[in-house]
Structure 1
């Protein structure tokens, strides 16, 4: 047994090899476009085959460092990495622009990130635009018909998970037995924003998935479509969900996919039972004052 068999944290490149058909990964190549390998070195992107089907792969490389931006290491998504990932999505769309929806290539996201790289230089140069651009690219590709499957193999934390994962049609995650971590905001930050005591939030986190972190809680919230129990199952389960997403899109049931679909799934699983009620109340309150603003 390898000493790392019980975790996939930091092993994005290993995950690529476990998922795709052997020796089919063409790194930094999408359609007719080739990336400079020195650009965004912590993002491993390219074209591969999965059970004979052409796919685009976008992963974090936690073993790489970006010498130009010292805060980008260990799987962090930096400004260059976010732009590179976004460009990978757009080049995939461009390569398949004349194909029918049933032939749009799937985009597989391998997620293992502790966050973004918010260094001073990145903030000045436009880190928020880079990560926002990546989110937009995935949303556009999803709506254009490309099945997008995110597979969390390690860490899915904070703003990096927002741009690298949450716009997918389906999100999958390795079991917590592999040390998989999912949370958008730690309890300390929730406490700072809500002014609630950490002790109270910690108590809530044992029973309320909204305040909790982890694969099982995100599953109940609908944030994770399926939990993968072993790494040997990743390949088959990702391929299965690609086929499911193709079928759902062919049936025109787009509301069952992406962020909206996860909201509905969370309600079905009992993790987000007041979401639609709250949205309905907000819509009703807005309608009573809408004319004051829309027709002003």
Structure 2
């Protein structure tokens, strides 16, 4: 399938028998039959910025999935589909505590994962900054589709924060993936676990990904193995040892 997949194409490939996933004001919520059970879908579509209201709507959807799992005695997988802008850059959202709402959303996904709901992110468009961290990166693993363009921070913003010249950062980004946005760099650092094949049914690929979920967060190990973050794993392990008095 040429070009970037649309949300409708993704949902059709995930749920060939139909689904109840909808989009309201750029916010994705709903579910569909999946692997003999169901798959809950939340997220953002259409390069939508994530504001206070959106973060709370998505948080509510995740908490509802957790509550339904407790009642049914089964933990449905949760897919976080992302094509977003960054967090909404407005004075109103900041005054209403956007950072707390983003943190709340991330914590609901972490809670779902801890309670036994497999959580998988799927970035198929753009995402950046707080919106990217609170959605796609708050899942157990993050998958991507070709054409996605994730970034934690673009290089002009990095230049403003670090006070380093933009041309120096651009030069560093050619050899150091952690400085660079884009799908290939996110794969190299381990942030993106796998890139899916849009030419093949996504339901089978997602089922295989869920069946092979790692026991914990292995992004640092992937980054080391792929050469994108060669020292992150060793530093993290050293911090843990020192925190435990080892």
TM-score (norm: length of structure 2)? 0.89
1:75-154 correspondence to structure 2 within 5 Å: 75-97=48-70, 103-154=74-125
Deviation string for 1:199-244 (max 9, x for gaps)?
1111111121111121111111111111123254433211211222
Q: Which moved more, 1:137-146 or 1:272-281?
A: 272-281
1:13–1:77: structure 2 CA closer, same or farther, 3 Å change rule?
A: farther
2:243 and 2:37 map into 1 onto residues whose CA distance is 47
Moved more, 84-93 or 267-276: 267-276
**Cα offset for 1:286?**
7.4
Structure whose alpha-carbon radius of gyration is higher = 1
1:59 lines up with 2:30 in the alignment:
no
Structure 2 equivalent of residue 24 of structure 1: 19
- The count of residues paired between Structure 1 and Structure 2 equals 245
| Cα distance change of structure 1 residues 94 and 274 upon mapping to structure 2, 3 Å threshold | same
Show the counterpart of 2:131: 160
Moved more, 84-93 or 12-21: 12-21
5+ residue gaps, structure 1: 29-39, 63-73, 249-253, 289-296
The counterpart of 1:235, out of the listed 187, 200, 203, is: 203
Q: 2:3 aligns with which of 3, 6, 14?
A: 6
Following TM superposition, where does structure 1 have runs of at least 4 consecutive aligned residues deviating by more than 6 angstroms?
283-288
Q: From the superposition, tell whether residues 122 and 14 of structure 1 become closer, same or farther in structure 2 (CA, over 3 Å).
A: farther
Where structure 2 has 5 or more consecutive residues not aligned to the other structure, the ranges are none
User: Structure 2: how far apart are the matches of 1:92 and 1:201?
Assistant: 42
In structure 1, distance between residues paired with 2:221 and 2:110: 18
1:270 is aligned to 2:241: no
TM-score (norm 1): 0.75
* Counterpart for residue 35 of structure 1: none
State the shift of 1:287 in Å. 8.6
